[in-house]
Amino acid sequence: MSADAATAAAVVLARRGDLGYRQFRIPALLRTGAGTLLAVSDARPLLDDLPSPIDLVIRRSADEGATWEPWEPLRIGAGLEGFGDAALLQDPATGAVLCWHVTTTRWGFFESEAGLERTQHCDLSVSLDDGLTWEHRRLTAQLKRPGIRSLFPASGSGLALRRGPHAGRLLQPFVVMTDPVDGTPGVIASAVAASDDHGATWRLSEPFSPTAGGVHTNEHSLAELPDGTVVSCSRATPHRLWSVSTDGGLTFGRPAAVPELPDPSDNGSVLSVDGLVVVSHNQHPWLRCDTVLTVGVAGADGAVTWGGSAQLCPGASGYSTLVELTGGDAGVLFERGAYEELAFVRVPRAQLEAAAARPTGSAPAAGAAAEAVLALPGLDSEAWAAEAREDTPHGALHTRVVPRSITPAPPERWELKDEHLFLSGEAITAPASEGKEKGATATQIVATRADLAANLAPASATPSPADLITLSATARWDGTRDVVLHPRWVADGRPTGDPRTATPGTTVAWLHLSRALGDGELGLTWDVTPA
């Protein structure tokens, strides 16, 4: 079988409805020194990001992902308490497994304030028995210094350095929001927490500088190249950002966009494997879809000669994280479909080498050759993976639509008996691609697990007609004049989203177009009028 062909089926670790949860999101993955694979995930009662009563759950594999033990609780909250955004790493010297994560009650990343009271917290769970049992520590006070309004560990994995004068140092990617200054909103940027005493104490770096064009970093992943250089690969749009550290991850140079790594600002991963550099990401500048592994050859001082890609999912897909397996293979755990599954794929070393040798941008199927999961009536995965063309009197319109999320239908009236709160979203100043994922477009309801269960239908793998589907869409205009584009639902002709002006050769995007699943055909049509 050639390196371009599919060689293994995806192993589904979680599906919507499992264990009574509606979404399993934000995967973390680690191969321990004992050869055990540990997978950690948010187990969500709703789509909503923190603050929300999210639990953390963990699965183990003793055969590098071929089979998995059942999910077990890692952290289960009470009241409004929630946990999420896990990242795993292991100290090679002690064998301790570390699981960074966020803990919230009323304040999430965007709602946090200066100080240690009205804030989300950074917790570290530690296991000394290969992930079987855990103890939990709170490290917010070590990391949240003056000038930092909010922070959280970037999900996926951390990094233990193995080369040069900094061998043994532990690094964990972070995201910070700085305090406003003189009425100017704070910025969101990457940072790194470092420990030189096996995780006993940690210090946080300065926030990364923006690119020369003013684009800031965000959630990111770290890798150590063969020459000891540490590189950071951050989500951004329309391309991922690359930063280099020559002092063991304490400081990073100015980031730069990598044209070979298109990205819709979705969290991915970077892995250094015996001279190859592998990045998991969405191969699209606006939509969370088309998950690939793009592979390059490591050079000196953080440089990479990029090749082609290996495609894992040609449809809707989200966050992903990478680990090295035996033989130089790569293991990938990623969100598949409209946040409907977590799937694990093993990609052989031969496929990685073949991708590195291909031209940039090419992406034959590899590993699972996974199709997007669709729990949506009347449509198959190919309909979501294809770009459509519509000829108009003014030119050609090329559109792509993918499902982003499915959320439970809210009750006609909420009956909340326990502590709860309503978040309006006014504190969120980030663009849509960087902001909070939540089912409600205006107000987020934070309630206890018991109240949510009493007000919502039971979680199920099959959505109900009343559940809300959110689509994302792009439209590339190939015409001779400026036009105004406005999507409408095919089922009833109702407009959705805002009208957008497109100039010849440009692409415009709508990230959140929502309606009930049972309101007829899910397709979109497009108004094209001269500007």
pLDDT tens for residues 427-483?
A: 556 666 666 776 655 678 999 999 999 999 999 888 889 999 999 999 999 999 999
| Same domain membership, residue 259 and residue 186 | yes
| Same domain membership, residue 467 and residue 376 | no
Task: For residue 9, give the nearest of 267, 370, 304, 464 by alpha carbon.
Answer: 370
Cβ-contact 123, 136 below 8 angstroms: yes
The answer to whether residue 4 sits within a structural domain is: no
Task: For residue 148, give the nearest of 105, 100, 115 by alpha carbon.
Answer: 115
Give 387-429 pLDDT, tens digit per residue: 889 999 999 999 999 999 999 988 989 999 999 998 876 555 6
The answer to whether residue 172 sits within a structural domain is: yes
The residue length of the chain stands at 531
The answer to whether residue 471 sits within a structural domain is: yes
The answer to whether residue 74 sits within a structural domain is: no
Cβ-based neighbours of 466, under 8 Å, separated by 6 or more = 409, 516, 517, 518
Query: What SS3 class is residue 131?
Result: coil
| Same domain membership, residue 231 and residue 286 | yes
| Same domain membership, residue 378 and residue 493 | no
| Same domain membership, residue 506 and residue 435 | no
The answer to whether residue 70 sits within a structural domain is: no
CATH number at residue 473: 2.60.40
Give the whole-angstrom CA distance, residue 437 versus residue 319.
13
From first to last of the 531 residues of the chain, give the pLDDT tens digit: 222 333 446 899 999 999 999 999 999 999 999 999 999 999 999 999 999 999 999 999 999 999 999 999 999 999 999 999 999 999 999 999 999 999 999 999 999 999 999 999 999 999 999 999 999 999 999 999 999 999 999 999 999 999 999 999 999 999 999 998 888 889 999 999 999 999 999 999 999 999 999 999 999 999 999 999 999 999 999 999 999 999 999 999 999 999 999 999 999 999 999 999 999 999 999 999 999 999 999 999 999 999 999 999 888 899 999 999 999 999 999 999 889 999 999 999 999 999 999 988 766 665 444 444 444 444 444 556 678 899 999 999 999 999 999 999 889 899 999 999 988 765 556 666 666 776 655 678 999 999 999 999 999 888 889 999 999 999 999 999 999 999 999 889 999 999 999 999 999 999 999 999 888 888 899 999 999
The answer to whether residue 206 sits within a structural domain is: yes
Give the whole-angstrom CA distance, residue 331 versus residue 336.
15
| Same domain membership, residue 360 and residue 294 | yes
Please count the other Cβ atoms lying within 10 Å of the Cβ belonging to residue 253: 15
Query: What SS3 class is residue 19?
Result: helix
Tell how far CA 365 is from the center of its chain: 21
| Same domain membership, residue 132 and residue 42 | yes
Residues assigned a catalytic role: 49, 219, 319
How would DSSP label each residue in 213-267? TS----SEEEEE-TTS-EEEEE--SSEEEEEEESSSSS-----EEEEEEE-SS--
Q: How many domains does the chain have?
A: 3
DSSP count for the chain of H helices, then E strands: 4, 34
> What range does the domain containing 373 cover?
9-57+83-383
| Same domain membership, residue 227 and residue 130 | yes
| Same domain membership, residue 212 and residue 142 | yes
Query: What SS3 class is residue 443?
Result: coil
The answer to whether residue 88 sits within a structural domain is: yes
Cβ-based neighbours of 24, under 8 Å, separated by 6 or more = 13, 14, 15, 16, 18, 41, 42, 43, 44, 57, 341, 342
| Same domain membership, residue 437 and residue 451 | yes
% of the chain surpassing 70 pLDDT: 91
CATH number at residue 214: 2.120.10.10
The answer to whether residue 376 sits within a structural domain is: yes
CA–CA distances in Å: residue 63 to residues 35, 37, 69, 334, 477:
8, 8, 11, 19, 49
Give the whole-angstrom CA distance, residue 300 versus residue 528.
49
What is the reported pTM?
0.94
| Same domain membership, residue 525 and residue 404 | yes
| Same domain membership, residue 175 and residue 164 | yes
